[in-house]
Structure 1
Amino acid sequence: MDAGWLPFHPTPTRPAFTPPSGAVDAHCHVFGPGDRFPYAPERKYTPCDAGAAQLFALRDFLGFSRNVVVQATCHGTDNRAMVDALEQSGGRARGVATVDAGITDGELAALHAAGVRGVRFNYVKRLVEPRPDTYYHGIVERIAALGWHVVVYFEAADLAEKWDFFTSLPTIVVVDHMGRPDLTRSPDGPEFAPFLRFMERDNIWCKVTCPERLSKSGPPTYDDFVPFARTVVERFPDRVLWGTDWPHPNLNMVGHMPDDGWLVDMIPRLAPTPAVRQALLVDNPMRLYWPEEVA
């Protein structure tokens, strides 16, 4: 692990909040182990090893039933660690891959058989070098035929530039971490308004995730995060997802590693009624990732 990158919390608190039956942690990662699944040469950070067994132990400890494992930039387009986690899950995990334009139809089919249901496009320049829109369009045309969706990760300031591209996509589009808003502003102010307008499109979904990355007020309550997430959850209850972001890579910029029990205990503040929590944690992720099990 690179000097300065924090390891995940070794002994998280058992949360006081009990998630509803069937709850899904819809944004988490696996890393390595590096001696089995090497990290990408072009990576911008080297994380601690954090494998499937550790992820699934945390899932059970926190009271969740399923995971959505998202490919992170440190593994590039080598999805083997993520696929290994899906294969070990016994059907209780789905995946979001990172692929390049040269992927074959057979490779896409193999990812689908393993449980992959989406691709991720990362536009955060400190982590990757984004490609032209035409490059991503070529990938979208191919994954749309599989019924997959697109996950996008960007900074709030980038939304205006990418608006036309994002709104041109024919698939469901899931935004990571609410598009990284400035939490020193108001959720009712002009800075967050473009994102809320973006969310008004029926195919746009959002993850109300990562207070530990966005908050200025800090742990354990991350009070400045709550009004933004609650605004999104209450306005778009059928298109929101929640996840831990475990094992919380590259958090040296924040200066602390969150206790995952704290993050779970925030959920009732983001989704204040049982019906909204059921949608956020069960109904929405099941509809998106396990539609064959939804009556």
Structure 2
Amino acid sequence: MSIPTNTRLLSGKPPILKAPAGATDCHMHLYLPGYESQPGGPNIAELATVSDYQQVQKWLSLERVVVTQSNAYQFDNRAILQGVKEIGQERARAIVAVAPDASEAQIESLHAQGARGARIMQLPGGAVGIAELAAVEKCVRPFGWHLMVQFNGREIDSYMTTLKAIETDYIIDHIGKFMPPVAADDARVDQMLSLLDRGNAWIKICGGYETSLTGGPDYADVDPIAKRLIQHAPERVIWGSNWPHVGVPREHYPDDADQLDVLLHWADENVRQKILVDNPAELYGF
């Protein structure tokens, strides 16, 4: 089937935040021509190519990127890896879907192509859920990979035992993705802080628009959670644009400059340097 070309805006008003050298987008997706959605995943509404994203990069003054497996592709990682190849591994890495019975040779091949993490998606459409997390971790741990874990933060009680057992690094995605947001002093936010205190958990500031009920550009209901997480462990926070925003209807797409500018309200200049440059460099080996 033919997938329509991109019609999203790829430039606009410049962000207020002047991104530092080496600024990294740690979460975005590509939809390339020739790669169709797979059974179990959502349809692909339109393409999002490397050329498209490079215009967004220029708009936001970003230099490095982590291409993240899309639910649409399920276990077909070819488009993600093709994107990394086109961009070049000096500026790009990949997060891929890994089957719980993946062989060492398969992981080695993915690693050579720029993969550095495995996606665990405990939400509808995910290729690999938390029930398979331990098996996936066993596959990727020898290669120094991390796990990228997304779930509804309101349900963290159900996942704490599994998360505490993780030995490799792992990212809690989308500001904990509390759906809907909770108060910053909620016990479930406390649990996320306790995971950060164990030393191998990271938080990604990304996709606040997917959970906020008050809306952008300030996301007043997500704001207190984000600030508390950042203040607690600024050395283990990263940021992502979540471009091209396929998790929400077209009329709810956020402004990409606003997605970067939210850091002006959530972190000072020194912490923004960590979030955008230093922390991604440590996690991804840039």
Q: Same fold (TM over 0.5)?
A: yes
| 1:21 maps onto 2:25 in alignment | no
Alignment-derived partner of residue 12 in structure 1: 12
Return closer, same or farther for 1:15/1:203 CA change in 2, 3 Å cut-off: same
| 1:57 maps onto 2:52 in alignment | no
Distance 1:45 1:167 in 2: 34
Distance 1:220 1:85 in 2: 29
Return closer, same or farther for 1:7/1:195 CA change in 2, 3 Å cut-off: farther
Look up the equivalent residue of 1:147 and give its one-letter code: G
Return closer, same or farther for 1:200/1:14 CA change in 2, 3 Å cut-off: same
| 1:264 maps onto 2:263 in alignment | no
Following superposition, which runs of at least 4 residues in structure 1 exceed 6 angstroms of deviation? none
Q: CA deviation at 1:109?
A: 1.4
Look up the equivalent residue of 2:59 and give its one-letter code: F
Distance 1:37 1:112 in 2: 21
Contact map agreement 1:28 1:243 (CA 8 A) in 2: yes
| 1:145 maps onto 2:142 in alignment | yes
In structure 2, stretches of 5+ residues that fail to align are: none
Alignment-derived partner of residue 282 in structure 2: 287
Contact map agreement 1:94 1:289 (CA 8 A) in 2: yes
Q: CA RMSD in A?
A: 2.1
Q: CA deviation at 1:265?
A: 1.4
Q: CA deviation at 1:9?
A: 3.7
Alignment-derived partner of residue 278 in structure 1: 273
Give the aligned length. 281
Look up the equivalent residue of 2:211 and give its one-letter code: L
Task: Give % identity.
Answer: 28
Distance 1:142 1:191 in 2: 29
Contact map agreement 1:233 1:240 (CA 8 A) in 2: yes
Distance 1:136 1:238 in 2: 25
Distance 1:255 1:188 in 2: 32
| 1:92 maps onto 2:91 in alignment | yes
In structure 1, stretches of 5+ residues that fail to align are: none
Contact map agreement 2:93 2:114 (CA 8 A) in 1: yes
Query: What secondary structure sits across from 2:27 in the alignment?
Result: strand
TM-score by length of 2: 0.91
Q: CA deviation at 1:101?
A: 2.9
Look up the equivalent residue of 1:48 and give its one-letter code: E
Once the two structures are superposed, residues 200-234 of structure 1 have per-residue CA deviations (whole angstroms, 9 ceiling, x without a partner) of 22111010111111111112332322221111111
Q: CA deviation at 1:131?
A: 4.9
Q: 2:44 aligns with which of 36, 43, 46?
A: 46
Contact map agreement 2:21 2:63 (CA 8 A) in 1: yes
Distance 1:143 1:247 in 2: 28
TM-score by length of 1: 0.88
Greater relative contact order (CA < 8 Å, ≥ 6 in sequence): 1
